[in-house]
C-alpha cells in the first residue's frame, strides 16, 4: 500500500508494506499517483502534457521516440534485444518473449 502527501514543499511517498519513506520529484509523484489506476500509455500522455515545459522531460521524450537500435544480437538464436527507454527494460524480439 502506498500513501502520498505533500509537506513543506516536499513530495512524500510512504510504502506501508516495507516501511520505506521516499522524497520524490513532481514527475515521480504524479506517476505514482496514477500507477495503479491507469495504463502506461495514459500515464505517459498525461505526464508529457503536464510537464511539457520541463526541458529534461522533452529531451528524454525526443530520445524515446527515436527508432530503436539493437543493443545485442545473439547470432546462434538470431534473437535481437532492444532497450525500451520508456520502461528501462530489455525487450526480446523474434520470439515474442519480453523480459519485463
- Do 72 and 88 have their domain in common? yes
- Do 41 and 80 have their domain in common? no
- Do 49 and 82 have their domain in common? no
Angle at 83 between CA 21 and CA 77, to 5 degrees: 130
- Do 15 and 54 have their domain in common? yes
* Sign of the alpha-carbon dihedral angle for 20, 47, 41, 69: negative
- Do 55 and 74 have their domain in common? no
Per-residue burial over 27-49, b if 16 or more Cβ lie within 10 Å, else e, is eebbbbeeeeeeeeeebbeebee
Q: Are 85 and 66 in contact (CB under 8 A)?
A: no
Which DSSP letter does residue 94 get? S
- Do 35 and 79 have their domain in common? no
Q: What is the pLDDT of residue 68?
A: 55
88 three-state secondary structure: coil
Q: What is the pLDDT of residue 33?
A: 92
Give the domain range for residue 20: 2-64
Report pLDDT digits (tens) over 23-74.
999 889 999 999 889 998 898 889 888 888 887 776 666 555 555 555 544 4
- Do 55 and 6 have their domain in common? yes
Angle at 98 between CA 30 and CA 81, to 5 degrees: 105
The better pLDDT of the pair 64, 4 is held by: 4
Closest CA to 61 of 72, 73, 53, 71: 53
Number of domains present in the structure of the chain: 2
- Do 10 and 50 have their domain in common? yes
Amino acid at each position: 500500500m502506498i500513501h502520498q502527501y505533500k509537506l513543506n514543499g516536499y513530495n512524500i511517498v510512504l510504502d506501508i508494506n516495507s516501511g520505506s519513506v521516499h522524497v520524490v520529484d513532481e514527475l515521480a509523484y504524479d506517476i505514482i499517483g496514477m500507477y495503479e489506476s491507469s495504463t502506461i500509455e495514459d500515464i505517459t500522455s498525461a505526464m508529457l502534457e503536464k510537464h511539457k515545459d520541463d526541458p529534461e522531460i522533452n529531451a528524454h521524450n525526443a530520445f524515446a521516440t527515436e527508432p530503436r537500435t539493437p543493443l545485442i544480437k545473439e547470432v546462434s538464436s538470431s534473437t535481437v534485444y532492444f532497450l525500451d527507454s520508456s520502461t528501462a527494460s530489455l525487450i526480446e524480439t523474434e520470439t515474442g518473449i519480453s523480459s519485463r
